[in-house]
Amino acid sequence: MTDLFAPARFGILDLPNRIVMSSLTRCRAGAGNVPTPLMAEYYRQRAAAGLILSEASPICAEGHGYPRTPGIHTAEQIAGWTQVTAAVHEAGGRIALQLWHVGRISHPSLQPGRALPVAPSAIRPPGQVFTGRSMEDYVVPRALETDELPGLVARYAEAARHAIAAGFDAVEVHAGNGYLLDQFLRSSSNRRADAYGGSQANRARLLLEVMAAVCEAVGSARVGVRLSPVTSANGLLDDDPQGLFEYVVAQLNPLDLAFLDILRGTGGASQEKWVPFDYARLRALYRGNLILNNAYDYASAQAALHAGEADAIAFGRLLLANPDLTERFRRGAPLNTPDYETFYSGEAKGYTDYPALAD
């Protein structure tokens, strides 16, 4: 019977346990959105997890939507990430970079030349964005032209190559949480009339082209993908999420990916909203390694693995606040409480100063 402490093989990755660090935006990058030595220490502290999924990293300048998020599109950013991967590997860990484009979840003040953010369709998302100085309403984005999409696909492949050059063991394509690839998937944000809009197959086309290109660039055994079937993050809805994601997962099978990472529920700090969805259907359809993510604790994670619902479990806030979560789980030790006020600010405070058991 599989449990959290059993080893696993995910593509080319040999994992010593099935505890995965979920991707967590922390907004600690330096000037030029370059990863810093402080970030290297943060990830090094958590290297006992079977696999670290890094915070989301924009694939291009247009992909940014928040201040101080580390990119993977300049030589300086690649060099900064190299410090991070070296620190993780020296501590015996494995780390994958999450490839990100926020799409419409941005603002002209965060875009090159103060251009409009891009999206599948010119539909303004609800809410506001923090620009680094103030909160601003989202704007109506510019709909991407059909002939721009091959270049976007190429950007993902290039970013994947940059990640491997920076020492990452693998990459995860971020296709969830209301960002660009998810915006293409959803009926509420994709009103296109070309081959990338309309039917579920058309709306999934860009994601599948990105996945194929990234696999060709770095090898499918180094590639995973994040999906979030029912999240309403960033104003997304779909008229048939069950059918849509069953289609997507079935189409991913021939790629022979290292893993599929599924966010259960809606995500976010509050886990009060659970939208009905048959995750067991995705488990039955998908032939590869499945990571489940969101609101697990030790007991529920073990139960999910024992029941065969997943091959690994990802932890976000628990690993944020407990760098030695693996050892705490093993010993049944008490856990630190996350400091929500420092999730996205504070430099070392609330970032690298959570005490370990040895302290």
Report how far Cα 258 is from the mean position of its chain's Cα atoms.
15
Tokens found for residue 196: 């990338």
Closest CA to 149 of 184, 114, 122, 117: 184
Tokens found for residue 246: 């069953």
Instruction: Name the active-site residue from 179, 196, 286, 354.
Output: 179
Q: With beta carbons less than 8 A apart as the criterion, state whether 30 and 80 touch.
A: yes
247 is catalytic: no
Tokens found for residue 313: 């479990």
Strand partners, 9: 14
Q: With beta carbons less than 8 A apart as the criterion, state whether 183 and 109 touch.
A: no
Q: Amino acid identity of 140?
A: V
DSSP 160-201: HHHHHHTT-SEEEEE--TTSHHHHHH-TTT----STTSSSHH
Q: Which residues contact 250 (CB under 8 A, 6 or more apart)?
A: 285
Tokens found for residue 214: 């990234």
Tokens found for residue 264: 């259960």
Strand partners, 315: 21
Distances (CA, A) of 326 to 36, 234, 298, 353: 25, 32, 10, 17
Tokens found for residue 169: 């063991």
**CA contacts within 13 A on the Cβ side of 277:** 24
**CA contacts within 13 A on the Cβ side of 256:** 6
Distances (CA, A) of 81 to 214, 243, 328: 19, 38, 28
Closest CA to 280 of 258, 297, 304, 316: 304
Q: Which residues contact 303 (CB under 8 A, 6 or more apart)?
A: none
Q: Which residues contact 330 (CB under 8 A, 6 or more apart)?
A: 5
Q: Amino acid identity of 223?
A: V
Active site residues: 179
